[in-house]
Amino acid sequence: MATLRREIRIHAPASEVWKVVGRPEILHLWFPGLTNCTVDGNVRIIFLGSGMPMPEEIITNDSLQRRFQYRITVPIFKFHLATVDVIDLFDDTCLVVYSTEADPGVMALVIGGATTGALEELRKQFESGVGPALDAVGINSSVAAGGTV
Amino acid sequence: MGRKILFVTTDQQRYDTLGCNGGNIARTPVVDALAASGVRYERAVPQSVVCMPSRSTMLTGQYPTTHGVWMNGVPLPVDAPSVAALLYRAGYRTALVGKPHFEPFLDPFGKFTENVLAVQGRETAENQPWFDGSTGPHRGFEHLEFSTHGGAGNLHYARWLMENHPEAIGMFYQVLDATLEVNAAGGGENGAPQVHVNEMPKEWYHTDWVAERTISWLDSLQADDDWFCWMSFPDPHHPWDPPKDEVGRINWRDVDLPAGYPTTAAERERILDAKPRHWRKWYDGELVSNYEAPKHWVPATLTPDQLREVTALNAVECELIDEALGRVMAAIAARGWGDDVDVIFTTDHGELGGDFGLMFKGPYHVDGLMRLPLIWRPAPSAGLTPSVVSRPVGLVDLAPTFCTIAGLAPAEWMQGKPLPVHDADAVARGIDKALTEWDSELFGVAVYLRTITRDGWVCTAYKPGFVHDGTEGELYNLANDPLQQVNLWEDPAYSSTRSDLVADLWDSQPEAHSPRMPLIAPV
């Protein structure tokens, strides 16, 4: 078992960032290396840039705690749990924490290492006010960039 | 028309595997001849002892701290400085054939350019979405064909194998096990890790493929083109699985145990116990601090016959490389370029090869990993006198050397110096030391080493990490203790030597890349 944690501070309200993070079907719009994803009930299938489909089970999608958790269910993993927390810093910014726990341990890095790029992309879209994930949830640029409505 | 450059690298090759360096197992007449007519370096030192940081140093001419690839799994940014780009802009035709490894190979998301190029079967980055023409072709190379240690994956060699000899894909050793750890499974006649009988004919093996693709690219050039070709062999890096029909070249039963292998367990343990703790912990299987060594292999279990067999197979792979290089040299001669081609032969880092009872690599700054083969055969038209350089030089010096060969001033971002052509040249230009660094952070286990090689000493200072408190170190006298078996770090008789070297080590540290780049893959 290995654990990996990546985090980033985003200059946008936690409630707005959660609108993206809490929408499992648009992960590919902010996670580089994914070409698509589909959601059916609590099953999400992500399609990797290498062409590989990867099924996941959605465990938690808690809009009160702003916590999203899922497990990758392919056999190479004896265990996998990913957790994305959006934490309000109460100054119109938030901390997004993306944690990966996996057995075999190397898989935490193979899969979880890519979360660095995902968090950077999320910040880029919110702080620039433009991006496909924002478009998908209808966030306008002034809110995304930290402005007030 | 200027001087052309053939830059030949191998992967994880020890200094003592070449005949010209005193090796007596592998026959390496081609490299030996280059050495006899060129400059042979007796103390060439890598700036990192693992692939990605070291290869990034060769390309950028910068220390790992500066280019930012601080361990395997940290990708070199696509827009990082590149000597190949500099040469390309100066009019050189440029190619990289073989193992690149500036970016991670484990890439399920298909994020990295080199993997994507290979998946698409492309040999150029032009006309790709990321190609905007402002920085020239990918990392300065207009032609790219990649391979690594086996037939799996999507690199160009694997694709070629799949298209032409699909039955051969499974003939290689499986480098990673089912959990993606470096495989500890044993094979061959003695069950040594990463040893395997490969049924593949030599003509399908990646060594020959790299040479043939290099020749093919050279054949595509005009006679008056200036060119820079990085021919990058994946061997003799493990797995040790050369083609079966070639294994008989060297009978492992006839191979002597390496000088650096203490033959009794008590002797091995005594030597290791005088080094910082992670040495012995790895030997006993208590701590594998880095990804590059098989996680489930315990060095203390290595038998003399296993080591003999690994040494023999490693030598076979070195011979195959030498012969492949010979074919490329013949092709160059046939094009009429023989007098105008500089050849530089080296490797990215060494291999422990049984020293202290250890194999593979890791945070261990000793000759097995740090003393590299380096040969520079200047173009005969340059008229340089053959020589041997004993002063320490580094792989960081390669990029400015390529510039000098091409008649260009080294770029201001390069941190090395053009290689000296003899010791007096080194003295005159103040070339007297080489620096090596190791940083690794893997699932809570952190190891940080900084090393200086100078005045016949190798001195390593440790920073605080998982098993180190920052007071540890290693100090070896290379003349009196060529196998680095006597650690003088705590010897009061050498405290002033240690202090002087440590002060120079810290005073010489290069500028750090900022921000620190994230680790995003194991390798």
Q: Considering only CB atoms, which chain A residues are within 8 Å of B180? A: 76, 104, 106-107, 110
Question: Per-residue pLDDT tens for B39-95?
Answer: 999 999 999 999 999 999 999 999 999 999 999 999 999 989 999 999 999 999 999
How high is the pLDDT of residue A135?
A: 97
Number of domains in chain B: 1
Q: Does residue B512 sit within a domain? A: no
Kindly list the residues of chain B whose beta carbon comes within 8 Å of any beta carbon in chain A: 73, 106-111, 115-116, 119, 154, 178-181, 291, 442-443, 518-522
Q: Considering only CB atoms, which chain B residues are within 8 Å of A106? A: 179-181, 291, 522
How high is the pLDDT of residue B128?
A: 58
How high is the pLDDT of residue A143?
A: 65
Q: Which residues contact B284 (CB under 8 A, 6 or more apart)?
A: B298, B300
Asked whether A69 and A63 are in contact (CB, 8 A), the reply is no
- Nearest CA among B315, B458, B403 for reference residue B10: B315
CA distance to partner chain B, nearest, from residue A21 (Å): 19
Place of tokens 């078996």: B485
Among all residues of chain B, which has the CA nearest to that of A112? Answer: B520
CA distance to partner chain B, nearest, from residue A149 (Å): 34
CA distance to partner chain B, nearest, from residue A12 (Å): 22
Q: Does residue B22 sit within a domain? A: yes
How far is it, in rounded angstroms, from Cα B469 to Cα B463?
Answer: 7
Give counts: helices (H), strands (E), chain A: 5, 7
How would you label A73-107 residue by residue, b for 16+ Cβ within 10 Å and e otherwise? eeeebeebbbbbbbbeeeeebbebbbbbbbebbbb
Among all residues of chain B, which has the CA nearest to that of A76? Answer: B179
Query: How does DSSP assign B323-349, residue by residue?
Result: HHHHHHHHHHHHTT-GGGEEEEEEES-
- Nearest CA among B87, B124, B121 for reference residue B6: B87
Q: Does residue B198 sit within a domain? A: yes
Test mutation, A106, A107, A115, chain B, max B CBs within 10 A:
A106
Asked whether B6 and B94 are in contact (CB, 8 A), the reply is no
Q: Considering only CB atoms, which chain A residues are within 8 Å of B179? A: 76, 104, 106-107
Asked whether A135 and A3 are in contact (CB, 8 A), the reply is no
Does A34 contact B109 at a Cβ distance shorter than 8 Å?
A: yes
Lowest-pLDDT choice from A65-74, A101-110, B219-228, B238-247? A101-110
**Which of B110, B180, B519 lies closest to A106 in CB terms?**
B180
Question: Per-residue pLDDT tens for B385-436?
Answer: 999 999 999 999 999 999 999 999 999 999 999 999 999 999 999 999 999 9
Does residue B213 come out as left (phi exceeding 0), alpha (psi in the -120 to 50 range) or beta? alpha
Lowest-pLDDT choice from B174-178, B212-216, B224-228, B331-335? B174-178
Task: Name beta bridge partners: A34.
Answer: A48
How high is the pLDDT of residue A148?
A: 47
CA distance to partner chain B, nearest, from residue A75 (Å): 10
Q: Which residues contact B404 (CB under 8 A, 6 or more apart)?
A: B410, B418
Averaged pLDDT of chain B: 95
Structure-model confidence comparison of residues A55 and A147, the more confident one: A55
Q: Does residue A149 sit within a domain? A: no
Amino acid (1-letter code) at residue B162: M
Q: Is A127 exposed, middle or buried (0-12, 13-18, 19+ CB in 10 A)?
A: middle
Number of domains in chain A: 1
Amino acid (1-letter code) at residue A120: E
Report the CATH number at residue B11: 3.40.720.10
Structure-model confidence comparison of residues B400 and A149, the more confident one: B400
Q: Does residue A32 sit within a domain? A: yes
Q: Does residue A90 sit within a domain? A: yes
Question: Per-residue pLDDT tens for B254-303?
Answer: 999 999 999 999 999 999 999 999 999 999 999 999 999 999 999 999 99
Q: Is A64 exposed, middle or buried (0-12, 13-18, 19+ CB in 10 A)?
A: exposed
Q: Confidence band (pLDDT; 50, 70, 90) for B192?
A: very high
Q: Does residue A35 sit within a domain? A: yes
Q: How far is CA B356 from the centre of its chain?
A: 21
Among all residues of chain A, which has the CA nearest to that of B520? Answer: A113
Report the CATH number at residue A47: 3.30.530.20
**Which of B116, B154, B522 lies closest to A109 in CB terms?**
B522
Q: Does residue B392 sit within a domain? A: yes
How high is the pLDDT of residue B133?
A: 53
> Taking 50 as the threshold, does the pLDDT of residue B453 lie above it?
yes
Query: Which residue segment(s) compose the domain that A81 sits in?
Result: 2-144
Q: Considering only CB atoms, which chain B residues are within 8 Å of A33? A: 108-111
Does A111 contact B108 at a Cβ distance shorter than 8 Å?
A: yes
Helices B206-219, B156-164: axis angle to 10 degrees equals: 100
pTM equals 0.95
Does A32 contact B443 at a Cβ distance shorter than 8 Å?
A: no
Pairing, β B192-193 against β B227-236:
unpaired
Q: Does residue A38 sit within a domain? A: yes
> Taking 90 as the threshold, does the pLDDT of residue B213 lie above it?
yes
Q: Does residue A20 sit within a domain? A: yes
Query: Which residue segment(s) compose the domain that B408 sits in?
Result: 4-507
> Taking 90 as the threshold, does the pLDDT of residue B493 lie above it?
yes
Does B520 contact A114 at a Cβ distance shorter than 8 Å?
A: yes
In chain B, % of residues over pLDDT 70: 98
Q: Does residue B106 sit within a domain? A: yes
Q: Considering only CB atoms, which chain A residues are within 8 Å of B519? A: 109, 113
Q: For the residues A89-108, what does the mean pLDDT come to?
A: 96
Q: Does residue B522 sit within a domain? A: no
